[in-house]
């Protein structure tokens, strides 16, 4: 790694530690984390290099870098690290720092918007919904989609973590439509119950 001293952020490692990457400086660059990382197998992603960059304060993790978002947070590297440097915690700490400073990538923003709207990160497409019906299951799963009170609780938790601004930016995804559908079905159910009383 070539280090341009003009671009070194001497505070970066302190901020990583403050944000939860407490053991980052234990890393001795063995590379076990990268060797077992599933993301490294499909992308030019290198967790060892990111940990090193954090310690050195190298701002190769600029706002345009997608690297820290390629981690699936599977925690394999964290389990394998012989130094207990907790590389996954380092990645999560960096995400906190860069999300605050530069915002989220569009894909992550959409997933957050879906969580805010419906509790799900991904769309349940028509094919899945139809298959559920064919299997005799309710069209919508018994998740936040059919439990609006759980969705409210989830939003309260997000707000409590002061992360609301990352989630509220609601997209117009299919999953948002599903949430509206579920809300309508729930209110019809409530009306039906009232009528049966």
Report the interface residues with ligand SF4, using CB under 6 A. Answer: 27-33, 37-39, 47-48, 51, 71-77, 81, 83, 85, 87-88, 91
**Secondary structure letter of residue 184 according to DSSP:** H
DSSP class per residue in 142-173: SSTTT-HHHHHHHHHHHHHTT-HHHH-S----
Q: How far is the CB of 26 from ligand SF4 (least distance, A)?
A: 7
Of 65 and 83, which has the nearer Cβ to ligand SF4? 83
Side-chain half-sphere CA neighbours of 34 within 13 A: 15
- Please name which of 124, 121, 150 lies closest in space to residue 137, comparing C-alpha atoms: 124
Q: How far is the CB of 34 from ligand SF4 (least distance, A)?
A: 7
Q: Which run of H or of E encompasses 114? A: helix 106-118
Of 43 and 165, which has the nearer Cβ to ligand SF4? 43
Q: How far is the CB of 157 from ligand SF4 (least distance, A)?
A: 23
Of 53 and 112, which has the nearer Cβ to ligand SF4? 53
- Please name which of 92, 190, 175 lies closest in space to residue 141, comparing C-alpha atoms: 175
Q: How far is the CB of 58 from ligand SF4 (least distance, A)?
A: 15
Of 37 and 94, which has the nearer Cβ to ligand SF4? 37
């Amino acid at each position: 790694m070539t280090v341009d001293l003009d671009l070194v952020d001497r505070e970066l490692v302190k901020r990583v530690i403050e944000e939860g990457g407490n053991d980052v400086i234990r890393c001795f660059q063995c590379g076990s984390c990268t060797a077992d990382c599933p993301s490294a197998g499909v992308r030019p992603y290198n967790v060892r290099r990111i940990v090193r960059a954090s310690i050195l304060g190298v701002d190769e993790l600029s706002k345009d870098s997608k690297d820290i978002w390629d981690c699936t947070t599977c925690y394999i590297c964290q389990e394998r690290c012989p130094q207990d440097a907790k590389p996954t915690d380092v990645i999560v700490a960096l995400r906190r720092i860069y999300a605050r400073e530069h915002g989220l990538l569009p894909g992550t923003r959409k997933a957050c918007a879906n969580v805010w709207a419906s509790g799900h990160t991904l769309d349940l497409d028509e094919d899945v919904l139809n298959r559920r019906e064919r299997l005799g299951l309710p069209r919508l799963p018994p998740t936040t989609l059919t439990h609006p009170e759980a969705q409210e609780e989830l939003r309260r938790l997000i707000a409590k973590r002061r992360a609301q601004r990352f989630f509220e930016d609601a997209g117009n995804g299919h999953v948002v439509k599903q949430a509206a559908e579920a809300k309508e079905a729930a209110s019809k159910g409530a009306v039906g119950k009232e009528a049966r009383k």
